[in-house]
Homo-oligomer: A and B are copies of this chain.
Amino acid sequence: MSSPPPATGPVHEALAGLSLVDHHCHGVVPADLTPEAFQSLITEGDVWPASGITPFDSPVGVAVRRHCAPLLDLPRHAPAAEYLDRRAELGWREVTRRFLADAGTDTFCVDTGYAPDRLTTPAELAGAAGAQAAAYDVVRLEAVAEAVAAEGVEPDEYASAFLAAMAEAVAERGAVAVKSVAAYRTGFDLDPRRPSGPEVTEAARHWLAAGGTGGRGCGAGETAHTRPRLDDPVLVRHLLWTAVDLGLPLQLHTGFGDNDIRMHRVDPTHLTDWLHLTSGTIPVLLLHCWPYQRQAAYLAAVFEQVYLDVGLTLHYVGPARARAILEEALEITPFRKLLYSSDAYGIAEFYQLGALAFRQGLAGLLQDRVGADELSLPDALRIAAWTGRDNACRVYRLTG
């Protein structure tokens, strides 16, 4: 069966030609992957070999076989085994090159603080993406706090040592933002107030004494670290307030993730009181958001400092459903508040698949509104450029 002609129109063309800014992603594993390792990177669950259920039998697996296989010279919908064979045959460097070239992304903001696998650095990622690409560092707050603890610190010096270590990491790496996974550690139903110095010291005393044995669970790969896992509610609050002191935009994991999330605690509207208290300080970028994209949109509509994306979600639902997610995310969101991200991690496919899902989903939505005369074409083109590129340049003060 031949493929239907792709959807066309000036909005599709504009988005197809737009160099995207991927405002939140990770690196790729610079190595060839076993079939099991590849499958573990295309699911937010674990691989369940005893179950007979493979991650390929899911929306993201179908999307990889449909949209990624042709870039490896395979037919659309190639079987999973053929896909894995061909990928191994080409080798990770060539695979990475092909997907990054096709992604059409020229700027990456890279969260370097989560690496249960060894990953490419931002510079390596930009290098693979081509001569014109740039990559910026995003410093993960929890990783730095845990490194401070692992290196040894007195409880009453924890706060200042953490702030200094963050400032140093930001300066050294020229970071454009910081990131928090408070969602994984406590959820968002936190006391919103800035904790006092003695409260922080007391909480640090308990945490440092526990030495990493505490915690109610752990995220994928996080057990691999010997660092004490920061999940004390006072220290998580303190970490968010430290982000305010640093003055850089704060990326916040929200909603969808692995099974270390307690989904009912990561509805971002739990942050409302904290957003009131920090109004006028730093931009806050809500990442992923699904299934709370409407709640995130509400916050973006009523708080000047709030932005959102639906990264991660777009490749997991695939191009077949990306538009529906974008429709909800854009119901009331000011058009300067939505950003593009892939949240690609580990495999190069997701830079391409995320970009494709974003471009096709948004173009379909905007083009149809133009067709129905609900939106003018110049407005549609403006919204495409804003969300795909300009909003990120503005928030992170990129010169791109």
Whose C-beta in chain B lies nearest to the C-beta of A188? Answer: B264
The answer on a CB contact under 8 Å between B267 and A45 is: no
Is A317 interfacial (CB 8 A cutoff)? yes
A331 to B357, CA, bound (A): 14
- Cβ B273 vs Cβ A374 within 8 A: no
A3 engages B77 (CB within 8 Å): no
Knowing A269-B264, A317-B331, A334-B55, say if A376 contacts B77 (CB, 8 Å).
Answer: yes
> Measured between alpha carbons, how far is A336 from B259 in the docked complex, in Å?
18
User: Are A48 and B304 within 8 A (Cβ)?
Assistant: yes
A336 contacts across to B, CB distance below 8 A? 51-53, 57
A46–B273 Cα gap in the complex (Å)? Answer: 16
Is A28 in the interface zone, CB < 8 Å from B? Answer: no
A156 contacts the other chain (CB 8 A): no
Contacting B at CB under 8 A, from A288-320, are 290-291, 294-295, 298, 301-304, 316-320
Roughly how many angstroms separate A4 CA and B324 CA in the complex, as a whole number?
23
Contact check: which of B44, B262, B303, B335 meets A269 at CB < 8 Å?
B262
Q: Does A120 contact B (CB under 8 A)?
A: no
Q: Chain B's nearest CB lies how many Å from the CB of A275?
A: 8
Contact (Cβ within 8 A) A302 B258: yes
Q: Contacts A267-B264, A273-B262, A304-B46; is A298 near B256 (CB within 8 Å)?
A: yes
A327 CB, min distance to chain B CBs, angstroms: 7
Interface residues on A, range: 35 or more
Structural contact, A330 and B272, CB atoms closer than 8 A: no
Residue numbers in B under 8 Å from A44 (CB-CB): 301-302
Bound-complex Cα distance A294 to B48 (A): 21
| A372/B320 contact (C-beta < 8 A), A259-B303, A294-B290, A304-B45 known | yes
Q: How far is A330 from B336 in the complex, measured between Cα atoms in Å?
A: 30
For this chain, the copies found in one complex come to 3
CB of A374 to closest CB in B, whole Å = 4
| B45 and A302 contacting across the interface, CB-CB below 8 Å | yes
Q: Are A335 and B57 in contact (CB under 8 A)?
A: yes
A3-B373, A76-B373, A302-B44 known; A58 vs B335 contact (CB < 8 Å): yes
Q: Does A190 contact B (CB under 8 A)?
A: no
Interface residues of A in 232-290 (CB under 8 A from B): 256, 258-259, 261-264, 267, 269-270, 272-273, 275-276, 290
Within the complex, the shortest CB–CB distance from A382 to chain B, in Å, comes to 8
Cβ of A375 under 8 Å from chain B: yes
Residues of B within 8 A of A55 (CB): 334
- Tell me if B320 and A332 are in contact (CB < 8 A): no
Alpha-carbon separation in the docked complex, A261 to B263 (Å) = 20
**With contact pairs A57-B335, A334-B57, A371-B4 given, residues A298 and B263 touching in the complex (Cβ less than 8 Å):** yes
Over the window 33-58 of chain A, the binary record of Cβ atoms lying under 8 Å from chain B Cβ atoms (1 yes, 0 no) is 00000000001111010011101011
A324 proximity list for chain B (CB < 8 A): 327
Q: Are A373 and B321 in contact (CB under 8 A)?
A: no
Give Cα A263–Cα B272 distance, bound, in whole angstroms: 8
The 4 closest A-B pairs by CB, nearest first: A263-B269, A291-B294, A77-B376, A259-B302
User: Could you list some 12 contacts between A and B, CB below 8 A?
Assistant: A44-B302, A58-B301, A59-B332, A59-B333, A77-B375, A217-B273, A217-B276, A258-B302, A263-B269, A263-B272, A290-B294, A316-B331
Known: A261-B272, A264-B267, A291-B295. 9 other contacts (CB 8 A): A4-B373, A44-B302, A52-B336, A76-B376, A258-B302, A259-B302, A290-B331, A316-B332, A317-B331
